Every structure is written in C-alpha cells, then in structure tokens.
Structure 1
C-alpha cells in the first residue's frame, strides 16, 4: 500500500510537525525594526497624499475666490454705470409689512431730517406694491 492510496481512501497520513524555534533577541529586534520601517513608509505615503490633496484644494479655493472677486468687480461696474431716475420716495415697506414714511432727498442715501420716522401699523402693504400719492 502506497502513501497516496491511503490518503485517497480517507485515512490521514502521519504528519510530522517541527517544533517552533524561539526567536533570539537579535531576530526579534530585526523583526520589530522591519515592522516599524514598513509602518513609517505607509505613514509617509499617507502624509504625502494628504499634503498633495490639501495643496490642490487650497489652489482650487484660491482660484474660486479670485473668480468671485472678478465677478463682484464686474457687478459693481454694472451697478455704477446703471442710470438712476430721480424720483421722490413717499414711503418704504419692509418685508414684515411695516410701512415707514419720511422725507427723502434726491439721490442721497444719507437723509438728514429733523422728524423721526413714522410707522404705520394700520394696514400691511405688499412689499412689491408701489405706494401712490393718494395711498396712506
């Protein structure tokens, strides 16, 4: 009976196991150093990838801020070149529905009037409605 025929018939051949040899201090030290070197290289690669990604994101953010700056400058040019119509403001309606009236000077955002603002709480007026002279 051969060795292979016993394995084919379901019988297990005798397996000899060698006893594990204990590592010497020097071998344990080399093994530890190798593991630390491997971990160090993995960490170095991770830090390099992180730094590269961070640099790319930083440059993209700066480019977007520059584009936004140019967009705001163009918008300011358009606003400054827009002709304004001289009109007399009778009152302002806030989003909350409060109507405030005051005397306004033409094209002057700094209104210097002696009278305090008057608030009308009687009827809320739609914010997209223009007040006419005969309306309160």
Structure 2
C-alpha cells in the first residue's frame, strides 16, 4: 500500500510539473546495479528544489528517520490534524524562500496519499518539534 501511495503521489506531482526542471527533480537519479544492491531503503525520498534538499518520509520508518537526522534549523512540515508524511527542508543555515516552502508543502500532501482537495500544512523549525511518546 505504501509503494502504491508513493507512486500515486509521484504521478500527481509529475502531472503538475510546469517545466523540464520540475520534471527532472522528481525523477530518480540513475545509479548502478551495485549501488542499488548495497543501498537499504530508509523510507525517505530525496528531492532538490532551488538548491535546497527536501526529504520526504514515505512511511512511519521514514518519518522517524527524518526526525532523528534533522538539525535544529531545518524546516519540518506536516499536514495539519491528519496522519501524513513528514517533510524536511535542509536549510544549511540559509533562508528558505516561500517558493521552496510551497513546493515542499505540495510534496507533503501528495506523498501522504490524500484525496484531491485543499489541506493546511504546518511548518516550523525542527528545534520546536516535540515527538509525542509512542508516536513511532
């Protein structure tokens, strides 16, 4: 089910891409067979947009890995009041533009497997995210 939700989310993002650059960042980078055999799935999908790395939790394990690896000045996103994918914008102590935040919010909604519609996406610095006990 997770892989199917991931595929539907990716299909939705590809259909909404406005230019070649947006298509390019959504498609996976080519890797050798040897690299793929050695690579374990950590539940995280990585994207690049306007020179920012954006990480999306594809499942509960991915969400947990994102929170563990995040730095306090990274920006964390989550769909409000609904279980959803976590998204992390790696800031590298740079100011994150509204455009990057909006793109990341769309990733958050699309990777959460939600039906079409409008959703509120909350975001804050990772420093202010408190993991609730037994959340994972």
Fold match by TM threshold 0.5:
no
* TM-score w.r.t. length of structure 2: 0.22
Higher relative contact order (CA 8 A, sep 6+): 2
The structure richer in strand per residue is 2
Q: Which of these two proteins has the greater Rg computed from alpha carbons?
A: 1
- TM-score with structure 1 length normalisation? 0.22
